[in-house]
Structure 1
Amino acid sequence: MKLFNCQNCGHTVFFENTHCEQCRAALGFIPELINISSLKPAGNGGWIAAADCEKTVRFYCSNHQHQVCNWLVDSEDENTLCIACQMNRYIPNVADAEQKLSWQEMEFAKHRLMYSLLRLQLPLQSKDEAPEEGLSFDFINTEQPLPDDAQSTTGHAEGQVTINLAEADPAEREQMRKDMNESYRTLIGHFRHEVGHYYWDQIIAPYQQRLKAYRRLFGDEREDYGEALKSHYEQGAPADWNTRFVTTYASSHPWEDWAETWAHYFHIIDTLETAYAFGMTLGAPQQTQQTHNMVAMTADIDPYNHADFEEILNRCIPLTFAVNSLNRSMGQPDLYPFVLNEPVKTKLGFIHQLMLSYRPVTTAETNESTSEPVAKPA
């Protein structure tokens, strides 16, 4: 996530802020600009954004009243929900304070996912816009009657992503992490993983060259999915999983390998973008030259706008090592408790090249922007 500033006073603000903590100016996120802006009243509940040179009148998303969204909607838009909230199909009971708080946690994670999708310029449609190809989210409380067309467990099916509301409870999520023998379980991780399944259907399955390249790296997805998961849960991951996969679950089936690797791609680029925004530099002047080379890093590239994935990894690996070390100093779990083996790096590179085909990038050789797609499979 990049840094945002209040245009009214220059104070640094967070992505979720609805007002500046220093000058108290109202703040809102403009999806078209991918930017937070300070706001001035325009009458009738409308706002003028300082970041918008066209001075378009905008309104807060109607979910702003529930303290779950700070995104803005053009005053001429017939839909009062922002592009992120339009994706929702079922939400929790907002009259229940505990459920509403859980929903807020869900939305904060989902909006960060949506930020990444906007930056990547991936195809993005709601089910209302495209019933067959669109994306939507269900936030399900299994302690209440389940809608007939909803699922009770976290997962994805034909563009419908379900997240169990219990995942928003840190205690329950931690217990599930232990029960599943996972090293990492977060809300944003769930969103990134499940939307990976959605995009496999959208940007891999319809294209034969992409599908062939995918199968060479991840395996043949035509393998029986149900039997593969049953075998995984009964027998566990293969003994050498950590030489070929990013997680044990990734070893269960090629679809899960894709979704897990996809999620880790998002982890990597969002973490490095944050480091880039802060201008972070790491070094180890008191160590040997070999150790220095392993942990030294300057976050001088925007991973969303950089073609060379090896250069991204060369910065991200020392960064995560340093942050993991900081966490251990505070008695906290590693921020990123994973080791990227060579096959996983190759899979991540494949995803990166695929992402580059949807937007202009900066080449490593010229450091200049190009509008030509990079390695776009047919």
Structure 2
Amino acid sequence: MQIFLCPACHAPVYFHNLACACGTAIYFDPEAQALTTRPAPCRNREDIGCNWVAETDGLCRSCAMTETVPDLREATNLPLWQHSEYAKRWVLANLGRWGWFDHRDTGARPSFLMLSEQTVQGREDVTMGHADGEITINVTEASDAVLAKRQEELGELYRTMTGHIRHEIAHFLFLRLAETPDFLSGFRDLFGDERADYGEALQAHYANPQPAGHHHITSYATAHPHEDWAETIAHLLHLVDMVDSAGAAQLALPGGVVPGYDAYTDADTDRLVSRAVEISIAINHVNRAMDLPDIYPFVLADGVRQKMAFAHQHLMRAMPG
């Protein structure tokens, strides 16, 4: 993610900031990918700290995609919704660098059901997922305590809200890309036939999970071509954003990111991924000094890199020029 400059005093400000230290109220314009002082606040600014500019009926581009919010009569749900919407805005801003969901993009947009397991009527089951353009997000996992418990139970130390949204929105992006004539044949060559029975595949996976091996980024990616795609996209987005954020923070490695480098315009997937790996190794070394987990412990075998290159090519297709 970029580090921005205050439009008034030109001091550094960050993606989530509502105001600069100079006192100027600021708003993020996803179309310009910049902060502005234009007073057109999303109507969720006060409730959940949304700093995006309004576009439709008083809502910003991201909040307009939210069809259902958690039960706000349960007081604990407001900060969980706030954190989950922040993660969603982050992911949408990343995809906007490739032209997804901007004013030039006339294709369908996803809708989000932001649900909580806690309601005033009691506990409800909420399953993360995607179905026909509708994405369900369990905001309960925005709780640090709940997330830590599920990371332990599921053996997914790197389970995060941003990761969930990247994974689920990847399923939606598949629907959009499947409309293009050259996508499905290339997809099936690399990922397999997505028409295979999804329910049976998941049942088989949970009964006998397979290791990631050389062609899948995670064990879950082995379950079905749809999950392989979603896991691959989520990790590609992780890595591109890692390189972009390192560049914005002016982190330097020999032969690495140089001033002015834009990770979102680099079409060389292998170079981009290799830079992300180099950055992650360096940050791992720093984290170990603090007895913290490695930032990115996954192995990117050649089979995984081929899938990432295919996905990267198609995700970048929205860029002008």
TM-score by length of 2: 0.92
1:340-355 matches, within 5 Å, as 340-355=300-315
- 1:65 Cα shift? 1.8
Q: Does 1:186 align with 2:160?
A: yes
Preserved CA contact (<8 Å) 1:68 1:103? no
Q: Distance in 1 between matches of 2:8 and 2:128?
A: 41
CA deviation string 1:69-128 (max 9, x = no partner): 01112xxx5510011100001112345442111111101101101101211112469xxx
Residue 213 (structure 2) aligns with: 242
Q: Does 1:210 align with 2:183?
A: yes
- 1:297 Cα shift? 2.7
Residue 240 (structure 2) aligns with: 269
Fraction of identical pairs, as percent = 35
| Structure 1 unaligned blocks of 5 or more | 40-48, 50-57, 284-295, 361-370, 372-378
Residue 194 (structure 2) aligns with: 221
Residue 196 (structure 1) aligns with: 170
Which among 325, 331, 335 is matched to residue 285 of structure 2?
325
How many residues are matched?
A: 316
Residue 67 (structure 1) aligns with: 48
Residue 5 (structure 1) aligns with: 5
CA deviation string 1:168-204 (max 9, x = no partner): 1112112212222224100000000000001101112
Preserved CA contact (<8 Å) 1:183 1:337? no
Worse-matched range after superposition: 95-104 or 342-351: 95-104
Preserved CA contact (<8 Å) 1:29 1:72? yes
Residue 292 (structure 1) aligns with: none
Preserved CA contact (<8 Å) 1:139 1:163? yes
Q: Distance in 2 between matches of 1:198 and 1:124?
A: 16
Residue 44 (structure 1) aligns with: none
Residue 90 (structure 1) aligns with: 68
Quickly say closer, same or farther: Cα 1:353–1:151, change in 2 above 3 A. farther
Quickly say closer, same or farther: Cα 1:78–1:356, change in 2 above 3 A. closer
Q: Distance in 2 between matches of 1:6 and 1:32?
A: 17
CA-atom RMSD in angstroms = 2.1
SS at match of 2:187: helix
Residue 117 (structure 1) aligns with: 95
Q: Does 1:260 align with 2:219?
A: no
CA deviation string 1:208-238 (max 9, x = no partner): 4210100111111111111111111111114
Q: Distance in 1 between matches of 2:258 and 2:224?
A: 34
| Structure 2 unaligned blocks of 5 or more | none
Residue 43 (structure 1) aligns with: none
Which among 102, 111, 133 is matched to residue 136 of structure 1?
111
1:16-95 matches, within 5 Å, as 16-21=16-21, 23-37=22-36, 39=37, 49=38, 58-73=39-54, 79-95=57-73
Q: Which has the larger radius of gyration?
A: 1
SS at match of 1:60: coil
- 1:341 Cα shift? 0.6
Q: Distance in 2 between matches of 1:188 and 1:180?
A: 17
- 1:314 Cα shift? 2.7
Q: List, as ranges, runs of 4+ consecutive aligned residues in structure 1 with deviation greater than 4 Å.
A: none
Q: Which has the higher contact order (CA 8 A, sep 6+)?
A: 2
Quickly say closer, same or farther: Cα 1:217–1:165, change in 2 above 3 A. same
